[in-house]
Amino acid sequence: MAEKILIIEDEEKIARVLQLELEFEGYDTGVAHSGTDGLIKYREQEWDLILLDLMLPGINGLDVLRRIRATESSTPVILLTAKSDVEDKVRGLDLGANDYVTKPFEIGELLARIRSSLRFSVGAVSAEEVHEHLYSFAGLSINIQTRDVIRDGHSIDLTPREYDLLIHLLKHPNQVLTREQLLDEVWGFEYYGDTNVVDVYIRYVRKKIDNGEQSLIHTVRGVGYVLKEDVHEA
Ligand code: CA
């Protein structure tokens, strides 16, 4: 039996293209052009997956998602987001969306995400699965599956080493890590003894993630570094 996909998207052209592509791939589809209509169609029958635009007239995408997740968590939801929706995208994942694609998207990529979400949903663990991949601290979020790093809605580009260092700090919030520990765990033994590299990379990461109001990575003099929230320190 064909799997059924509900498309909730107010831009009729995009909705129409999605519908044609999905039907060509053998899916059954339903289309709604507003949040309200989307919720009505959602309740009318069982769906295998929902494509949900975030910016909708009336009830917006996040509210649609909230209402769906208030009653069940098993139907996979893929968000259709604009580049500027970073903050909403993170909120959407927090609310239990399974994945997202950023417009303009390649149809091939979307189809791959759909297949993967449908596969995941068989065990109905998809929402938790996403949460396992998401680390958040004080407005900073990292999705370790997509390696997306976001601070206060802004996407941040990190080099692989900077990313490894930040994720290590993020996995041990409020815990003082010595330079030796960081060197050992992020760089490995071949850098043994050269802790200056840690200081240099801490500076790089700080520069990229700090928003000017609040530092997240603090120096503990003579010891190392700690990731913590401190509203009193500039
Ligand atoms: Ca829209």
Q: How far is the CA of 100 from the centre of ligand 1 (A)?
A: 14
Using DSSP bridges, classify how beta strands 148-151 and 134-137 pair: parallel, antiparallel or unpaired: unpaired
Distance CA 161, CA 142 (A): 15
pLDDT at 191: 67
**Which structure tokens are listed for 40?**
């009505």
CB under 8 Å, gap of 24 or more: what pairs does 194-200 form?
A: 198/165, 198/225
The whole-number pLDDT of residue 142 equals 86
Cα(159) to ligand 1 centroid in Å equals 33
Give the whole-angstrom CA distance, residue 150 versus residue 147: 10
pLDDT score of 189: 65
**CA 31 to centroid of ligand 1, rounded, Å:** 13
206 CA to middle of ligand 1, Å?
35
Q: At what angle do helices 61-71 and 35-44 cross, to 10 degrees?
A: 30
- The alpha carbon of 141 and the centre of ligand 1 are apart by a number of angstroms equal to 25
Span from the CA of 144 to the centroid of ligand 1 (angstroms): 27
Q: How far is the CA of 53 from the centre of ligand 1 (A)?
A: 6
Q: In terms of pTM, does the model score above 0.85?
A: no
pLDDT, position 131: 60
The pLDDT score that the predictor gives to residue 120 is: 61
Query: Ligand 1 centre and the CA of 223: distance in Å?
Result: 50
| pLDDT at site 192 | 66
The Cα 1–Cα 87 span in angstroms is 37
The Å distance, Cα 80 to ligand 1 centre, comes to 8
Q: What local confidence, expressed as pLDDT, does residue 37 receive?
A: 95
Interval between CA 65 and ligand 1 midpoint (Å): 15
How close is the Cα of 222 to the center of ligand 1, in Å?
52
Average pLDDT per run of 10 along the chain, which is 234 residues long? Answer: 94 96 96 96 94 93 92 88 82 86 89 83 47 75 83 85 90 89 82 82 92 83 88 48
Would you say 226 and 174 are in contact if contact means Cβ atoms under 8 Å apart? Answer: yes
